[in-house]
Copies of this chain bind each other. A is one copy, B any other.
């Protein structure tokens, strides 16, 4: 019998979405960072929807401070709204916990959730609490609604061969606690969508090696990465930048003739955050193949 570990996450999702009715006219394909709903031509904004989950011993450890877990749970979702050029608005929080969980742990978790909601101007709209059997891993599932002005929407499927690839920040090193302390690039994505709208964008959650092929495939392109150009988190190697995952930086494709304007404007606007050209998109089949990155159901 075939198990999830045999086929991996992307193949699983492809099989599952065939089994359920989906939006007949989605504004974004399945697999983009958020689902996009068009409320109708009179609406100046589009509705964004996102769901995500954190699991103990997968995304955090039993000894991880609960407040940091709460921040991370919300910040991961905020990062997906950034990747679409939008903003999150209302959050739904589901926690499934063993009955012997300390009340103070859950309160700290919610303090961290509150920290992140306040930082990004969002609110809790609802939630659910459930028990898991004794010994089962706690699960925190976060869903959110948000919005994006119609002309700010950036998909991952709309890049073209010849465009250059850029990333914000530095890559690699998530396990050395970066994954608990990152700042979603909402402000930067908003600035980009307003002034230098990328042709395509996504956030790096599973590592460049996993996510870049996804952006390229969604856009029907190949890609080439300049490994020497990768902005490495201090102490990290190229392999870490490719495969660690949980960078929560933005990966984008932009027409090369915009770079002479974009790069100086970026450095003036965000002097402390690198924006680095790391490669380019090419015709399908003309690119390279990379393996690795985070897959939930395979051993990597």
Binds B, one of A122-130, A168-176, A189-197, A279-287: A122-130
**Interface residues in A, total, Cβ within 8 A:** 78
Residues from chain B with a CB closer than 8 A to the CB of A297 are 99, 129, 131
Q: Is the CB of B55 within 8 A of A132?
A: yes
- A29 and B44 alpha carbons, distance in the complex (Å): 29
Check: A150 CB closer than 8 A to any chain B CB.
no
Check: A6 CB closer than 8 A to any chain B CB.
yes
Q: Is the CB of B19 within 8 A of A96?
A: no
**Closest residue of B by beta carbon distance from A2:** B103
Q: Is the CB of B107 within 8 A of A19?
A: yes
Chain B min CB distance to A2 (Å): 5
Chain B min CB distance to A5 (Å): 4
Chain B min CB distance to A57 (Å): 5
Secondary structure dominating the interface of A: mixed
Q: Which of B34, B97, B137 contacts A136 (CB 8 A)?
A: B137
Scoring A4, A34, A55 by chain B CB atoms within 10 A of each residue's CB, the highest score goes to: A4
Q: Is the CB of A113 within 8 A of B3?
A: no
**Closest residue of B by beta carbon distance from A137:** B136
- A94 and B144 alpha carbons, distance in the complex (Å): 13
Residues from chain B with a CB closer than 8 A to the CB of A110 are 16, 19-20
Check: A143 CB closer than 8 A to any chain B CB.
yes
Q: Which of B16, B50, B97, B137 contacts A107 (CB 8 A)?
A: B16
Q: Is the CB of B131 within 8 A of A37?
A: no
Q: Is the CB of B131 within 8 A of A51?
A: no
Residues from chain B with a CB closer than 8 A to the CB of A19 are 107, 110-111, 113-114
Q: Is the CB of B51 within 8 A of A100?
A: no
Q: Is the CB of A114 within 8 A of B37?
A: no
**Closest residue of B by beta carbon distance from A97:** B4
Q: Is the CB of B103 within 8 A of A15?
A: yes
Residues from chain B with a CB closer than 8 A to the CB of A129 are 9, 12-13, 296-297
- A243 and B281 alpha carbons, distance in the complex (Å): 61
- A92 and B22 alpha carbons, distance in the complex (Å): 11
**Closest residue of B by beta carbon distance from A116:** B20
